[in-house]
Amino acid sequence: MPRKNTATQDKGAGRLRQPAEIQYREQLQALASVDDTDRPENWRLSPASVLTYILGGEKITTTVKGKKKTVEITRKFYGDRSIVERAIVTLASDRALLLVGEPGTGKSWLSEHLAAAISGDSTLTIQGTAGTTEEHLKYSWNVARVIAEGPTADNLIPAPTMIAMQQGRLLRFEESTRCVPDVQDALVSVLSDKAIAIPELPDANMVWAKPGFNIIATANSRDQGVNELSAALKRRFNYIHIPVVADAKTEVQIVKQRATELLQRYALPTKVPPPVIELITTVFREIREGKSKEGVSLKQPSTTLSTAEAIGVTIESALRASYFGGDTVAGEDIARNIVGSIVKEDLNDLAALKEYAKLIAQKRAANNKVWNSFYQGVQQVIRQ
């Protein structure tokens, strides 16, 4: 039975989160309306327009219902242009794409936007876990109907891979290295044959991939070794390493943009002033790198302090301030949330934060209000 793809059928109202193709529909439509260059078969946009969609920075004037309208294409992914270009070229080729990197570097985010721009659908996704089976990957059966009627094409339930093949779309395979080798092997046959065999069906027992089908997989480099990709699978993927954002300014910009977008959902009266976002990003960065701006060496905790964590702390600090505090986010709000994000399993990680407060925050607190309130906040939290 064809899967009803509700994600692309309604407008997504009343959802906690909308897929990229719905949230950024206006931008995608504007790009499509002026895009008349060649593109790979079944792609919604040309490779150049996909790149513009991901990197942003253009204004496009189109006509919507007879009225002229200018749509700004916002930046989605902050990173090297060459990384995004290589990703797009790979997806147009015979090889699949694997985005590798530390957790929270925007791999899933980039993969979602690539799928939205190229296929108009980012929801054909498999989450790799230790429990992922070949059935989650390929297809399963409606057991009750198979008992009554036997295996027929109507009783087959296609998994996202099969749907993506039939529709010529991209499949997203998240956390691919978490899957057991058997499941990874099933992917080898999908990638090399571009077909799935259904031996249970008496005839017409092959599903062939349409042009446009390809796979974007993601893998955390911290997880590598859990189930490392087999040599056969490695050969079929182009690896693209997604680095941690290189410069401090860009990281502040990412946190600002994403936190503002995500906070809109809550409609809070609380403001998050730019210096607060700068402070959060700086603390994460310096502790992550084990070195302050002034060159002071710092203890590094066992947790990864990614850009994504900084976004999380910004949002939670804003929520805390608006529920239990005042109109603006204060140092105490940040301090409480930063502790939770630095000290996860290992209580010794608290030492890293304590040291940071003493060596770095205290000095900056002397002539800076925001740093002062952060320093006081950390002292309070540590004392408790």
Ligand X SMILES: Nc1ncnc2c1ncn2[C@@H]1O[C@H](COP(=O)(O)OP(=O)(O)O)[C@@H](O)[C@H]1O
Take residue 69 and report the two structure tokens written for it: 């309208």
What single-letter DSSP state applies at residue 361? I
* Paired strand residues for 67: 64
Report the amino acid identity of residue 18: Q
User: What are the residues whose beta carbons fall under 8 Å from the beta carbon of 30, sequence distance 6 or more?
Assistant: 60, 62, 69, 71, 73
Q: What is the DSSP letter of 358?
A: I
Taking CB under 6 A as the rule, does residue 98 contact ligand X?
A: no
Phi and psi angles of residue 331, each rounded to the nearest 5 degrees, phi first: -55, -35
22 touches ligand X by CB under 6 A = no
8 A C-beta contact, residue 73 and residue 30: yes
Q: Binding to ligand X by residue 277, rule CB under 6 A?
A: no
Nearer to ligand X, 123 or 167 (CB): 123
Residue nearest to ligand X (CB): 106
Q: Which residue of this chain has its Cβ atom nearest to Mg ion in the complex?
A: 108
CA distance 122 to 98: 16
Strand 195-197, strand 206-208: pairing: antiparallel
Q: What CA dihedral angle connects 32, 34, 37 and 39, to 10 degrees?
A: 0
- Choose from ligand X, Mg ion, none: what does 77 bind? Cβ within 5-8 Å by kind: ligand X
Q: How many chain residues are in contact with ligand X, going by CB under 6 A?
A: 18
In angstroms, what is the minimal distance from the CB of 109 to ligand X? 3
Q: How far is the CB of 259 from ligand X (least distance, A)?
A: 9
**Residue 107 CB, nearest distance to Mg ion (Å)?**
5
Please tell me the total number of residues recorded for the chain in this structure. 384
Distance from C-alpha of 362 to C-alpha of 58, rounded to nearest angstrom = 43
Residue choice 308, 318, 329, 338 for contact with ligand X (CB under 6 A): 308
**Which one of ligand X, Mg ion, none interacts with residue 106, CB within 5 to 8 A by kind?**
ligand X
Whichever of 73 and 245 has its CB closer to ligand X, that residue is 245
Site for ligand X in 102-141 (CB under 6 A): 103-109
Q: Is 176 in the site for ligand X (CB under 6 A)?
A: no
Minimum distance, C-beta of residue 58 to ligand X, in the bound complex (Å) = 18
Residue 303 binds which one of Mg ion, ligand X, none, with CB within 5 to 8 A depending on kind? none
Q: How far is CA 381 from CA 55, 298, 310, in A?
A: 40, 20, 19
The distance of closest approach from Cβ of residue 174 to ligand X in the complex, given in angstroms and rounded to an integer, is 8
374 binds ligand X (CB under 6 A): no
CB 77 within 8 Å of CB 55: yes
Residue 222 is which amino acid? R
Candidates 136-144, 150-158, 306-314, 339-347; binding stretch for ligand X (CB under 6 A): 306-314
Binding residues for Mg ion, per CB under 5 A? 108
19 residue type, one letter: P
* Site residues for ligand X per CB under 6 A: 77-79, 101, 103-109, 218, 245, 254, 258, 307-308, 311
